[in-house]
Amino acid sequence: MAFSEAFKRGCKLVAITSGGTLGQLCAELKVPVVKIPKGYPPRAALPYLFIPMCVIAERAGLTEGLIDQAGKAAKILKSILASIQKEAKRIAKRLVGTIPIVYGFGIFKSVAYRLKTQFNENSKVPSFANWFPALNHDEIVGWEGEGELLEKFSVILIRSKDEPLEIKRRIELTREIALYRASEVLEIWSRGEAPLEQVISVLLLGEIASVYLALLRRVDPLMVRTIDTVKKYMSELQLVENVRRELLSLKLKRLAHG
């Protein structure tokens, strides 16, 4: 895990956790903790996990302006929530019966991947992600495949009024010469001015759409049975306990050497 690797390297650590194994380990290792509410699936706890990271990064001198951007993003989301919900419903209806592929670029690379995971976990459908310009060097050729195969896919393009001219041209050209063969091609346009505002606005829209898609498919967006099954069987290997013992042993050695 990332925490284990960071501790081994002697990094300064701050954990964001609702408790559990990580919280217990932090208490034993004397690592400071930002406590968040319990009971949320990790994917539903994004605001509780993300905002503390912004605050920590800025107070550590790693970034500037993130706290202010987060505050502005929250205000924007409140003002556009009603319209986003309507748009999310329209998107979900167009995605029914298809495999969503999310394409981003720049600051929206990780957003594309996040939305892919939301369709996986919430909507219970296969989903994939990629980004410009990388996909123009390989994945675009896959759209030369058989028509019946490609009609099973839908594409979501993440767009921004601030996208560079090169990216804008790549997106439009890719849509024109390749993506027309998909069942659906949709665009999600970011809102706001600052990067964080735009990122969060796309996340909110895509994540609500994934929940509406789950409801249209009559599946529970909260349940993740296969993940729970994997965790159950992996727990038999006692990997977490082994990591805990290793880190505590390392801490004792460091204390012994001053």
* Per-residue pLDDT tens over the stretch 150-200: 999 999 999 999 999 999 999 999 999 999 999 999 999 999 898 999 999
51 falls within a domain = no
Strands (E), 10-150: 15-17, 33-35, 99-105, 128-132
Q: How far is CA 88 from the centre of its chain?
A: 17
- Looking at the fold, whether 195 and 251 belong to one and the same domain comes out as no
243 falls within a domain = yes
Could you tell me the pLDDT band of residue 258, with boundaries at 50, 70 and 90?
low
Assigned token pair, 172: 């439009």
The range of the structural domain enclosing residue 87 comes to 81-216
pLDDT at 233: 86
What CATH number did the domain enclosing 207 receive?
Answer: 3.40.50.10490
Question: Alpha-carbon distance 161 to 167, whole Å?
Answer: 11
Q: Is the pTM of this model over 0.85?
A: yes
152 falls within a domain = yes
Strands (E), the chain: 15-17, 33-35, 99-105, 128-132, 153-159, 184-189
Q: What is the pLDDT of residues 196-217, one digit of tens each?
A: 999 999 999 999 999 999 999 9
Structural domain tally of the chain? 2
